Structure 1
Amino acid sequence: MASARRATVIVTRPDGQSSALLALLTGAGFDTLEFPLIDIAPVADDAPLRAALDELYLPPDAAARYALVVFVSPNAIDHAFSRLGAPWPADLPVAVVGPGSVAALARQGVHAPSHRVISPSTEEADPRFDSEALYAAIEAHFGTNGLEGKRVLIVRGDGGREWLAERLIEAGAQVEKAAAYRRVLPEPSMQKWERIHELLAGEPHAWLLTSSEGVRNLAELAHEHLTADEIVRLKRAPIVCPHPRIAEAARGAGFDRITVSGAGDERIAHSLEALFPPATAAASAHAATSRDPEAHAQASASSSIHSSSAPTDANPATAPAHQTAQSRMTDSNDSKKASPQPNVTPPLPPNTPFTPYEQQKRRGGAGIVVLWFVVVILAVAAGAGAFVLNRKFDRADAQLSQRVAQSDEQNADLRAKADQAASATTALNTQIIQLQGKLADAEAHSQALQQQYQDLASNRDDWTVAEVEQILSSASQQLQLTGNVPLALFALQSADTRLAATTGPQVVAIRKAIAQDIDKLKATPTTDLTGLAIKLDTAIDQVDQLPLSGEAPIARARAQAAEPANSASIAAATGEPRWKVLWHQITNGIGQQLSSLVSVRRIDNADAMLASPDQGYFVRENVKLRLLSARLSLLSRSETTLKADLHAADAALARYFDASSKKVQAVRELVKQVDQASLAVAVPNLNASLAAVHQFKRGG
């Protein structure tokens, strides 16, 4: 190896996966810069992977057991084995893409001959380590239809190629995929970006891109951190790719100096050595360039065109059969190389035979005659053609004028129709605008109604409880003022009926309180206030017909003539003389007449005899007022006032009215009945129901 450093190689593999390659490049005289374009991270949810790995340990004869497990990269192996809880089943085949994955399996204790490891052969002259080569190895191991109807697990990163899975499905296998890791875009440090700026400024360097995703990430990072001139220099920098598919991705990204090295660290190192010869050759090339810059530019252009148009593997024959290091990022795709075609020079046309000058002169005279003849014919034909064309032009002009006139008429009609259509369109637009305004108003009203409906629906219980509260308050007031128990009972039953349509624990509490008050009202003894009021009304109606003490009528005696037949019959019956019977009759009649002249009565109150007829009117009105006041006190359950009015009315009846009159006695009897029936009854209240309603309104 030369002692002078050749160039700087920018290695874009993930961190920790390039130690062997870095050692090879350092030994070959290259400076290296680790610039990862992909970072490997665990998946966010490894439950599907763990579930798939748990099924690896099913019994060998189980129908649901996997027949093959495929790992697409060493990263998939490392992340999957870190989640295994037991050693790998010895009877379960495992397939990997290349030697790097085989080495990763060996580090996990899975290797031949104790395990069946399927991978592409490394003994070929130009080995390939991609999905196509792996599928060929799987088909060679199991046969063409060996996996038909069997389960195959592919452990890979998130995303990736579907080629291998599609081929296995076409072969009849039941393919399941599990993500063991995910690729993320790293952010290189500022020191590394400063080094990239220095390299792009003119230092010799090359990029090693080992995956298509790395190519895309490089383009994305370049647009964020590099200037336009630096991006141009980046696209012209040498690129080394281990696989043709990666080279195609780089060419699609705009890179034009691409070399396909083939898989393996040693092939990559050989390709870089071919790109950058030893320092002595570089020095001589630099001297030649300084002497003939134009030739150097031409040679550089030729080299660039050759590199971009036909990428080739550098020194494939020097690559060993067994690769010691393999890229951990496997991007596999089939690509065919087109061999360059040799340059073919087209044949020259045959030479024209030689003709002497004299022969040419003799031929010239005859040619002139023929030429003039042809000219005359052409002139005649041209004149005839011009005449015919002129006639045709005239006819065409007339037809064109006629068509133009017709077209003008049609245009006028169309213009009128267009004006009408424009007017109609304007009217329609106006109507549409009006309809849109009305529609907007209708939508606003609809929204308002909907909002009101929602408010009413949401406050339905509140409205019902407020109505029940009003009913209970009115019933309580009536009960306290008038003692009308039936009315209060009806109000409570009505409130309970309204609450029956509403659900909720607090509403149930209100109904319980109402039920308790209903039971109390039903248990309350009732007084026939209506009957007592009717008795008082009857007494009031009869007051005007009651006689006062000074107005008592005196019965007048009427003379009764003794009938002879009667006296004779009496005398015959008694055996007394008839004259004696007649005498008794005459004396009795005279006594009756005399007794009717004088009436003797006992009057305890002398004022009653002194009342004039006018004063008697006021006495009767006073009694009626007392009875009316007693009636009001009865209805309002004012027992004290009722008793006082009844006693005052009875005293007036006894003092100023004729006690012997049956009417007076009947009225006093009615007053006495009312006085005895109006017993004091404790009227219950509705405090329990009202308290429950207030508790509901407070929300507690």
Structure 2
Amino acid sequence: MTAEQQQAVPPAASSEPEQRAPEQKKSSSSGKILAIIAIIIAILLTAILYWHGHNQALAQAEQMSQLQAEVAQQQQRLQQAEAKQSSQLAAVINNQSSTTEQLEGLSHKVLDLDSKRPNDWMLAEAEYLVRMAGRKLWLEQDAVSAAMMLANADERLAALNDPGLTPVRRALADDIASIKSVQKVDREGLVIKLNSINDQVDKLTLAGVIMARAEEPDFTLSESVSDWKENLKKSWASFSDNFVTVRRRDGNVEALLSPQQHWYLSENLKGKLLQAQLAVYREQQEIYDSSLAQARQWLQDYFADDSVRQFMLEQIEQLSGQQIKVDYPEQFSAQERLQQLLDDRLQRLLTGL
């Protein structure tokens, strides 16, 4: 190797480090870029998280402020309601106190009036008895109780010993006489008898078919020889009668009722008797008479003549002549007089307050 070649070798060896230097520079620069990017990303994430947390804090603060405002409004409303109730309660207490004072004043006046005119209460009691007597008479048709109540009212007026009540007592006497002159009707007794008749309906027996008497043939033979033909017919008829018998019956025969028709007939008969009972309480004379007449007709037409039917017909015959309608007085003459007397005295008392 020549000297020139030897001298040329070192420069060739020194070129490799020169080539590695740029590569190291490039790798170091890329690492720095990545680090910067990571730092930037971290900063951005931190900023985003801070911004999100800040917004949530602001929202929570706003919600808290709204809740505080609502609570304040509710407290204000409650205070207003309490104040309103307190004012109303105070007004009610004031009204009650004033009402109590008025009642006490009225009670004192009533006590004063009671001590001054005690007889007015007995007069009011007599008027009440007269009104109750009217209800007993017109609503319950109880003339006995009505007369007793009018008599008790007259006793109250007699105890007052007031000559001014003589016209009222005279009217009461007339009312008592008009009630006692009314015809008495034993409604309970009539209804009980009708009910006993109704209980016998199921024991009735339907009338059977009544057949006309059949004609019996005459098989007697004649002793005359000339009647041999007639005797032969009779002998043949007597012989054939042991096998087939034909009898002729004349007259109208009614068919038997079916079980269903029998049930309807019995129920209709019970209905007529119940209708008569209701007519007794309502004082419906025409309905009462027509119901009993229809029941009597059905008994005679459809049921057998036995002891049950005979008993029912006898009872219906006794009840048919009963008078159930009563003419009561339309009003009591003493009631209007008593009411007018009480009104006049009450008006005088109120005028004197």
Q: TM-score, length-normalised on structure 2?
A: 0.48
Which structure is higher in strand share? 1
Q: Which has the higher helix share?
A: 2
Larger radius of gyration: 1
